[in-house]
Amino acid sequence: MLKHLLVSAAILSVSLTSASAETIRWARAGDSITMDPHAQNEGPTHTLSHQIYDSLLQRDMAGSIIPSLATEWAALPNNPSVWRFKLRQGVTFHDGAKFDSEDVVFSLNRAKADGSEMKELLSSVKEVRAVDAYTVDIETNGANPLLVNNLTNMFIMDKGWSESNNVMTPHDVAKGETNFATMNTNGTGAFMLVSRAVDEKTVLKANPNYWGKDIYPNQVTEIIYTPIQSSATRVAALLSGEVDLIQDVPVQDLGRVESSSGLKLATAAQNRVIFLGVDTANGPTADLRVRQAMNIAINRDSIKKVVMRGQSDPTGVIMPPFVNGWTEDLNKYPKYDVKMAKDLMAQAGYSNGFDIVLNCPNDRYVNDEAICQAVVGMMAQIGINVTLDAKPKAQHFPIAKGGESDFYMLGWGVPTFDSHYIFNFLVHTQTENRGSWNPTGYSNADVDAMIVSLESETDLAKRDATIAKIWAEIQKAQMYLPIHNQVLNWGMRDNIEFDVQPEDQPHFQFLKFK
């Protein structure tokens, strides 16, 4: 009997160690805001959703588009405004339901519904039709050659599951709503949700019926995700071996991580720009000269040197270099010039300055709060008395987006790698389907028309010319004060083989252990 017990205990311990060897303990500064895949268009939220849900196509660890739930796609030869997608067969959701075209039609319509933050990505879509069980047509208003770029974060949910749990539309995070899908999931992805405590710990386990089992390495059997806001605690967790991978190594600790044995550092430029939004409709900042003064009062070089310790690329445009439309000329940032800024303030009639509140997240971007604090000092040089209001992102984003703020920090990643994505969210006048992240009050009918025209312009040279024109208008209006493009630093144990993804999106089915 005793022998029996010992043997089974030995077997148990062997199976336990082998299981834990494939567990990845992963930490970053902030948590996903909601598990509802269409309710937030935000990086860390998408990152967690990507483990559980699939989109029709996705970006791999190098940033190139690869097939996911769709295996082939092409515009119809006789009608370029219809894209036809062939769907992957034999895929099941985590609850066992079969995946077919009905789910795609349902999910894309859900992502276009009220309360969805993904609808700007589908603003050119007229109709989504199921042709047969494994074929879907997406018809756009005029030909949209870049439609597929907009689908990389467009997750597919099960229609039946959504019906029976009454989650037919996304919940509005800004209004404080929640629904069943906020905490529960049913995707087709590589991992299934086991447990979730918001801002504490989320556990995922490998999906035994994952369609990509033979396509990707799939060596990870369990993911334990713990958001750790304090940068010192986060890096301590990595150094002590409490976690295996952190996505945001604090810039002051890069050397420490790199020189620690058993750890390695992976660095790459990120497809994300950090900037400040300014109200152009009301108050002193409605005066263009004030915004120009603020723009040249920001000392981007010293932010890079001191706050970012060299880990950023200062820029003069709210567009990362990955994006179609980027030019070196646009990227040039204005010279830091306090004297000229003061002159501009005086011309605008604010030689005595004014008071303003700067809303800032403190758990989203690299050194977000420290950058804002530095900006407070720089604005004080030209007489602007800034009160800093730094909050966790879950509270910051509704304030920034809702237009309550006259001055706020935002970062923008561009998953489509195209300027239109920036225009449609950040520049177009705020309307029902467009401009949801443009609370600055900037509204220009000509620019709006040019933005919409991009969606159906098939002549790519003409399209690029329009993009350049829109950028010229934005640079003139200066409703956004660009700061820099982020540099990504992932710290991990050296037995992990994992590329830094330019969108800061780790897809764990690609991870390999040495």
Instruction: Kindly tell me which of 82 and 376 has the beta carbon lying closer to another protein.
Output: 376
Looking only at the bridges linking them, the beta strands covering 201-206 and 65-67 are unpaired
Provide, rounded to whole angstroms, the least separation between the CB of residue 229 and another protein. 9
- For another protein, which residue of 57, 70, 173, 374 counts as binding (CB under 8 A)? 374
| Cα→Cα distances 235→412, 468, 491, Å | 25, 42, 9
State the DSSP string of 391-455.
E-HHHHHHHHHTT--SEEEEEEE-TT-BHHHHIIIIIS---SSS-TT-TT----HHHHHHHHHHT
Instruction: Kindly tell me which of 270 and 299 has the beta carbon lying closer to another protein.
Output: 299
Three-state SS at 307: helix
- For another protein, which residue of 177, 337, 389, 497 counts as binding (CB under 8 A)? 389
Provide, rounded to whole angstroms, the least separation between the CB of residue 70 and another protein. 44
Six-digit token string for 492: 């991990």
Provide, rounded to whole angstroms, the least separation between the CB of residue 482 and another protein. 18
Instruction: Kindly tell me which of 145 and 383 has the beta carbon lying closer to another protein.
Output: 383
Instruction: Kindly tell me which of 205 and 256 has the beta carbon lying closer to another protein.
Output: 256
Reported as half-sphere exposure (CB side, CA atoms, 13 A), residue 153 has a value of: 29
Binding-site size, another protein (CB under 8 A): 36
- Hey, which residues between 221 and 280 contact another protein (CB under 8 A)? 230-232, 235-236, 239, 250, 252-253, 255-256
Beta bridge partners of 25: 224
Provide, rounded to whole angstroms, the least separation between the CB of residue 337 and another protein. 16
Provide, rounded to whole angstroms, the least separation between the CB of residue 306 and another protein. 4
Kindly state whether residue 369 participates in binding another protein, applying the rule CB under 8 A. Answer: yes
Kindly state whether residue 388 participates in binding another protein, applying the rule CB under 8 A. Answer: yes
Instruction: Kindly tell me which of 302 and 475 has the beta carbon lying closer to another protein.
Output: 302
Beta strands in 230-346 (DSSP E): 245-246, 263-278, 312-314
- For another protein, which residue of 19, 62, 215, 380 counts as binding (CB under 8 A)? 380
Distance CA 403, CA 411 (A): 16
- For another protein, which residue of 390, 398, 429, 513 counts as binding (CB under 8 A)? 390
Distance CA 309, CA 118 (A): 35
> Phi/psi at 200 (nearest 5 deg)?
-120, -65
Instruction: Kindly tell me which of 321 and 392 has the beta carbon lying closer to another protein.
Output: 392
Among the candidate windows 321-329, 383-391, 445-453, 468-476, which touches another protein by CB under 8 A? Answer: 383-391
Provide, rounded to whole angstroms, the least separation between the CB of residue 351 and another protein. 14
Instruction: Kindly tell me which of 239 and 468 has the beta carbon lying closer to another protein.
Output: 239
Write b or e for each residue in 34-70: b if 16 or more Cβ atoms lie within 10 A of its Cβ, otherwise e: bbbbbbbbbbbbbbbbbbbbbbbbbbebebeeeebbb
- Find out whether 326 and 374 touch, Cβ atoms under 8 Å: no
Instruction: Kindly tell me which of 348 and 371 has the beta carbon lying closer to another protein.
Output: 371
- For another protein, which residue of 209, 327, 381, 431 counts as binding (CB under 8 A)? 381
Place of tokens 């309307």: 431
- Hey, which residues between 404 and 443 contact another protein (CB under 8 A)? 404
- Find out whether 231 and 253 touch, Cβ atoms under 8 Å: yes
Kindly state whether residue 373 participates in binding another protein, applying the rule CB under 8 A. Answer: yes
Place of tokens 């483990």: 51
Provide, rounded to whole angstroms, the least separation between the CB of residue 376 and another protein. 5
Kindly state whether residue 509 participates in binding another protein, applying the rule CB under 8 A. Answer: no
Among the candidate windows 115-123, 124-132, 374-382, 426-434, which touches another protein by CB under 8 A? Answer: 374-382
Beta bridge partners of 55: 155
Kindly state whether residue 302 participates in binding another protein, applying the rule CB under 8 A. Answer: yes
- Find out whether 217 and 511 touch, Cβ atoms under 8 Å: yes
Among the candidate windows 38-46, 136-144, 380-388, 436-444, which touches another protein by CB under 8 A? Answer: 380-388
At 103, which helix (H) or strand (E)? helix 101-112
Among the candidate windows 105-113, 303-311, 469-477, 496-504, which touches another protein by CB under 8 A? Answer: 303-311
- For another protein, which residue of 387, 431, 458, 495 counts as binding (CB under 8 A)? 387
State the DSSP string of 220-234.
--EEEEEE--SHHHH
* Type of residue numbered 484: H
| Cα→Cα distances 443→248, 451, 479, Å | 36, 12, 10
Distance CA 30, CA 504 (A): 13
Instruction: Kindly tell me which of 184 and 229 has the beta carbon lying closer to another protein.
Output: 229
- Find out whether 376 and 388 touch, Cβ atoms under 8 Å: yes
- To 10 degrees, what angle do helices 460-477 and 445-454 make? 150
Instruction: Kindly tell me which of 179 and 405 has the beta carbon lying closer to another protein.
Output: 405
- For another protein, which residue of 237, 303, 319, 409 counts as binding (CB under 8 A)? 303
Kindly state whether residue 357 participates in binding another protein, applying the rule CB under 8 A. Answer: yes
Provide, rounded to whole angstroms, the least separation between the CB of residue 389 and another protein. 7
Kindly state whether residue 489 participates in binding another protein, applying the rule CB under 8 A. Answer: no
Distance CA 151, CA 380 (A): 43
Provide, rounded to whole angstroms, the least separation between the CB of residue 452 and another protein. 35
Place of tokens 């040089």: 381
Kindly state whether residue 307 participates in binding another protein, applying the rule CB under 8 A. Answer: yes
- Residue partners of 57: CB distance under 8 A and separation at least 6: 65, 66, 67, 68, 69, 70, 73, 148, 151, 152
Residues in touch with another protein (CB under 8 A):
230-232, 235-236, 239, 250, 252-253, 255-256, 299, 302-303, 305-307, 357, 362, 369-370, 373-374, 376-381, 383, 386-390, 404
